[in-house]
Structure 1
Amino acid sequence: MAAYTLESAEIHEDPNSTKTLRCRFHDKEECQLFCNDCKDFVCFECLGQLHQKHDICGIQNAEENIKKEIRNVLLEHNFIEKLNILSENYIDKKKELFQDEESFKREIRSKVKKVRKQLHLSEEYLLSEVRCKFKGYQTTLEEQETMVNNLRTKLTNLDVDKLNEHNIDYIINTLSEMKLCSSTCYKHKKDQEAVFTAGISVLIKNLIRATGAKSISKGSTLLNYSFSNIATKQILTKTQIQNGLMRKTQRQMIKSKTPRTNIRTTMKNLSIFPVA
């Protein structure tokens, strides 16, 4: 059965007449009746073939019945009220979506701001640590440089022709000290290039890791570990030089007879130039 809509019949409009409904089964027939049982417009041909013993009425009465039924359905199910409620719900949902969007945006901006602040603090702290550590390295190198320069001055001002057996101990000790310092610095220069270069590489990696660390203290730990590796060789080198000076002092404190020896031969044996 078809629904009672005008789709069940073709409408042919004549400017000088009222609307004419053509039967979809019989093109030449007009629909002048309406079947209440089938809810369909019918012609007289359909009446005899498909709608026998059905509740049939005229089109005018059918229009009134259809309108009345539509009104009853609308009132019975409160369609208008329900549509109004749905419309209001859509408006409320749009407001909620807008508010949620703005809330998420504010939260994201707030978190990004905190992260940027933390990164800035971490950067300042780490840069301060770097400056402090490298300042310590510079001080150590300056101390070593001063020590070497003092020894070099002693040797430069030494007049071999005026040496005698009374100050041979002092000369030998000075030359030994110079040889130790020179060989240590020579070795330190070779080791320092490899150690410091490798240490800087580790330091850069740890700086990157420290930037992503959850706290500044963790980044500081990583930095201190890198700096301690870099400084190890420097501390050892400084200790070796200091030990050489201590041995010099100890030798001066021990009173013993120094055998006569050729000063030039001694200086040659105590050459300050290290063997590569």
Structure 2
Amino acid sequence: MTSTRGDHAIGNTIGVEILGSGSHLPETRLTNADLEKVMETSGEWIVKRTGIEERRIAQWDKGEKSSTLATGALQKALDDAKVTAEELDMVLVATMTPDMPTPNVACIVTKNLGCRTISAIDLNAACSGFVFSISTAAMIMQSGLYRTVGLVGVDCLTTHIDYTTFGRGAAILFGDAAAAMVLRTSDNPSKGMLAHKMHSDANGSEHLFIPATREDFPKLDDYEERKLSKVQMNGQAVFKFAVSKFQQVIAETLEEAGISADEVDHFICHQANSRILDSARARFGIPEEKLLINI
């Protein structure tokens, strides 16, 4: 949660501003009609349950992958901020789908953009990755270590999707994309993060995981070779968890910042599912125009 108001700042003498933003999408579109051709589903049902009409798909055989999407997004953010790549002190990339185990995506991005030999870090927190990353970046910057940071959230989850009826629950949701911000420190501490709350709860990890080996399955009887490296999801359990925790963490962050939902100009939330977002809007009485949705 960020704000330009100064009366609830978290007590740091260094502020952190968002100078610019950008995004980069693959060209290929996978529509609900396309999914109807390969699995038992309907576009009407998908829209009703998720609000999703299409998703973008990276073509790895044509050079589209996490690093190329991340590079495109960060370059657009730099252009928007009127900042050069040489001015960056760190690149922090939130991703769970690196091109390869090493080098990490952030390192490849710094090479692509022609950065100096700066810090280049990948952070894997799945759906929460970008929120974790902006909080982490802000805390590092407020320590005085870095002045200008490039922050990217990117995933190419379609490489882990089973496009059959068996994998339908995940196939209707996930696409590929990247978004980026350029952050810079400010002498005005009121410009920056008012409060942040980060939680991890692995108690329900069996409801959403990507197995690498047979031993990764909570129940070995559930193992099938075709499931390896593919998203395994209990949609109903994940939805219930998301609705509950979504509302909880918003309430905690508002309390930490010392403000009410009415004082927030816009809520920009994880765009997983329109029903999850609608539940938060109803819980806090958020007007439709304040909850930004791009699903």
TM-score normalized with structure 1 length: 0.20
The structure number with the bigger radius of gyration is 1
In terms of fraction of residues, the more strand-rich structure is 2
* Higher share of residues assigned helix: 1
TM-score, length basis structure 2: 0.19
